Amino acid sequence: MKKLALAAVTLTAAAALALAGCSSSGGRSDAAASGGAEGFPADAKIGVALPDKTSENWVLAGGLFTQGLEDAGFQPDVQYAPASNTVAEQQNQISAMVTNGAKVIVIGAKDGKQLGTQLQQAHDAGVTIIAYDRLIENTPNVDYYVAFDNYKVGQLQGQALLDGLEARSGHGAPWNIELFSGSPDDANSAVFFDGAMSVLQPKIDDGTLNVVSGQTDIQQTATQGWKAENAQSRMDSLLAANYTSVPIDGVLSPNDTLARAILTSVKQAGKDVAAFTVTGQDSEAESVKSIMAGEQYSTINKDTTLLVAQTIKMIQELQKGETVDVNDTTQYDNGVKVVPAFLLPPVIVTKENAEEAYANSPSLLQIVQGAQ
């Protein structure tokens, strides 16, 4: 139950189990109704609705989907939600994909709580919906979820923070830290944070870690829109209010974009980044450079190529009317049902294992080898 995305779900355990059982088979019969059992034409239209380009992984995914779906014989319609009016524009894009006859729509949601109407429309038209990377909440009309194991991402980040503090701070515990979480409209943000806090909270409780600002809950730590400028200004305020006379040893950052913003703030405050630990996620090129330069401590490798390939495999199974391969039918409760999921394993990356971690990512490997 620890990974359930919505704390507000008030079902009893028994009711939740019953719902999980019927929902996951419901997911499959939804797919069957939409052509999963009979399949659909091998050159069908497939919609892919991606959010604004807040991270490099989203930028990469668009090209990989277009190419991969074309190579598989489908007609891809890949759309990004624009940077302004993003939620409404993504809603419009999804509606248009339904109207244009897509058989499957893959969605990286901008706001996973605001797609109920469009997904009902999709369901009524027999379209199968795959939530990509981010869970879509509060609707029965999500058939599958494909993502890296987000809770595990958080756990790896929490452990990396502890390891970095030990290795870099130049002193033993206690360590002074601050916590950052992602955008509140992204279902992943709470899952990353909960995973990290499963490692960090016991260390806060026993005094190993000291969150000097006292800001430890997800509302206080949130970064609206996953925007670098929001993380930087919160970090500036935290430093000014709490760290004029005590050192800051580390920060839990949920991704690379925010990690680099936090590092900018720490540098501008004249602090020594070599003794400072900040975590990240996404293996963005700039962050891999920063890790190799001894600044950012860690990132997570969630290879977008693998995630897109897994999604296309799901679409091919649906096309042929085969059973869709999932490896998790218990953890991702969207508030209405447990969505059958295929989860890929994330990998923690530091300077020490970067070469091995990026062995199959030529451009990142080049950065690592160039820095050695």
Please report which residue ranges of 279-353 form alpha helices under DSSP H.
Answer: 285-292, 304-320
CA distance 33 to 116: 19
Shortest reach from residue 305's CB to ligand BGC, in Å: 14
Shortest reach from residue 174's CB to ligand BGC, in Å: 29
Shortest reach from residue 300's CB to ligand BGC, in Å: 8
Q: 269 by DSSP, 3-state: which?
A: coil
The smaller minimum CB distance to ligand BGC, of residues 23 and 255, is found at 255
The smaller minimum CB distance to ligand BGC, of residues 118 and 181, is found at 181
Q: Provide the strand spans (E) within 22-127.
A: 45-50, 75-80, 104-107
Could you say which DSSP state residue 203 is in?
H
The smaller minimum CB distance to ligand BGC, of residues 72 and 344, is found at 344
Question: Under a CB-based contact definition with an 8 Å cutoff, are residues 281 and 153 in contact?
Answer: yes
The smaller minimum CB distance to ligand BGC, of residues 35 and 62, is found at 62
The smaller minimum CB distance to ligand BGC, of residues 58 and 121, is found at 58
Shortest reach from residue 280's CB to ligand BGC, in Å: 9
The smaller minimum CB distance to ligand BGC, of residues 61 and 98, is found at 61
Shortest reach from residue 293's CB to ligand BGC, in Å: 21
Please report which residue ranges of 100-139 form alpha helices under DSSP H.
Answer: 116-124
CA distances from 282 to 148, 157, 258, 300 (A): 11, 12, 11, 5
What is the contact surface with ligand BGC in residues (CB under 6 A)? 54-55, 57-58, 133-134, 182, 186, 188, 226, 255, 281-282
Shortest reach from residue 58's CB to ligand BGC, in Å: 6
Run of H or E including 90: helix 86-99
Question: Within 10 A of 329 (CB to CB), how many other CB atoms are there?
Answer: 16
